Amino acid sequence: MAKGDKKLSQLGSQVALPQSPEEATLERVPNPHPDKQYLARFTAPEFTSLCPVTGQPDFAHLVIDYVPKQWLVESKSLKLYLGSFRNHGAFHEDCTVAIGARLVDFLKPRWLRIGGYWYPRGGIPIDVFWQTGAPPKDLWLPDQGVPGYRGRG
């Protein structure tokens, strides 16, 4: 939802999980503190997508940090958007960067970063990190809190 942003169509309603990220509708609400610099964090510890070659499931722990400007992402729409990747075939890098880029295009935040901590399959964990640039000066930016993969080490 972008044009006008008048009505939240998903919040408070029973909504089916979108079949693909392209079908998913992100919604936003006005930031009640656009004059303040603060960090908003979303964590999705059970993110799932499919390997585009084998069709096998891939799992990740996603952490999305952003400094809002005029808009906040509505959390249910974000949950449905992330869930829409469940049947989506794409490599780890593509999923992680595409999610970050779509949020940036939609929200126009001051700053955004996404960490995709992917669980190993085939013996190699792949972690993917993307951000829009340097974080704003004087921003309290906590660690994303996801430990590096250690296996049985």
Nearest-CA neighbor of 47 among 97, 98, 84? 84
Catalytic status, residue 5: no
**22 carries a ligand binding annotation:** no
Catalytic status, residue 51: yes
Q: What is the rounded distance in angstroms from the CA atom of residue 135 to the CA atom of residue 139? A: 7
For residue 121, what is the DSSP state?
B
**88 carries a ligand binding annotation:** no
- The whole-angstrom distance between residue 123's C-alpha and the CA centroid of its chain comes to 25
Phi, psi dihedrals of residue 98, rounded to the nearest 5°:
-65, -40
Catalytic residue among 51, 65, 94, 127: 51
Residue pair 112/73 in contact by the 8 Å Cβ criterion? no
**92 carries a ligand binding annotation:** yes
Catalytic residue among 5, 35, 58, 143: 58
User: Using alpha carbons only, how large is the chain's radius of gyration in Å?
Assistant: 16
With a CB cutoff of 8 Å and minimum separation 6, the contacts of 34 are 68, 69, 70
**97 carries a ligand binding annotation:** no
Which residues belong to the annotated binding site for substrate? 73-75, 92-93
Residues carrying an active site annotation: 51, 58
Which residues belong to the annotated binding site? 73-75, 92-93
